[in-house]
Amino acid sequence: MGKDMVPKRIFLTKGVGKHKERLTSFELALRDAGIAAQNLVRVSSIFPPNCKLISRKEGLKYLSPGEVVFAVVAENSTREPHRLVASSIGLAQPADHSTYGYLSEHHSFGETDDIAGDYAEELAAEMLATTLDVEFDPDKSWDEKKEVYRLSNKIVRTMNTTQSAVGDKKALWTTTIAAAILIFE
């Protein structure tokens, strides 16, 4: 199977669900993300070589109900009223598209979309930078590291998709999900 198992496309998606049952809140988050009708298989975090990042709208067209779909998934849930939860996928893509990049998963409490998203994006970028021998100071701020990565001309794109939500005031389960969906067509 080898090269047939290298995805050609990838898209990012996210969602949130609330329900008295934890499993149902997860199902509702999957529905919100548009991926509830698929059988998700969680995989680790490599952005495949020569893979094209496409929009969620375009990506959903490739999916069929019941299909086994490989995905990098971040999820979090709470039933604590007013507790902030977040799920984020970070992405770092190399300038040389024939090499692989990285995806990262981050699940947190008390972080806004921006904070959780920046953290996930930074994780993916740092993993890629270390494989490309890009010199950086890990103690520098994310903005300072972004500039180093940009100037290196080795990392072409970093981004994230993040879903946060505040725990339901009636103590319903609140679940967030963020995912990178791998497509082989």
> 2 Cβ partners below 8 Å, 6+ apart?
none
Token digits of residue 162: 């993040």
Mean pLDDT across the stretch 21-48? 97
Give the fold, CATH level 3, of 7-183.
Pyruvoyl-Dependent Histidine Decarboxylase; Chain B (3.50.20)
Question: How many residues would you count in the chain?
Answer: 185
**pLDDT tier at 2 (50, 70, 90 boundaries)?**
low
Q: Can you give the residue ranges of every domain in the chain?
A: 7-183
- Please write the tens of the pLDDT for every residue from 80-107: 999 999 999 999 999 999 999 999 999 9
Whether 166 has a pLDDT exceeding 70, the answer reads yes
Is the pTM higher than 0.85? yes
Percent of the chain with pLDDT over 70: 99
- Tell me the Ramachandran region of residue 99: left when phi exceeds 0, alpha when psi lies from -120 to 50, beta otherwise: beta
Whether 109 has a pLDDT exceeding 80, the answer reads yes
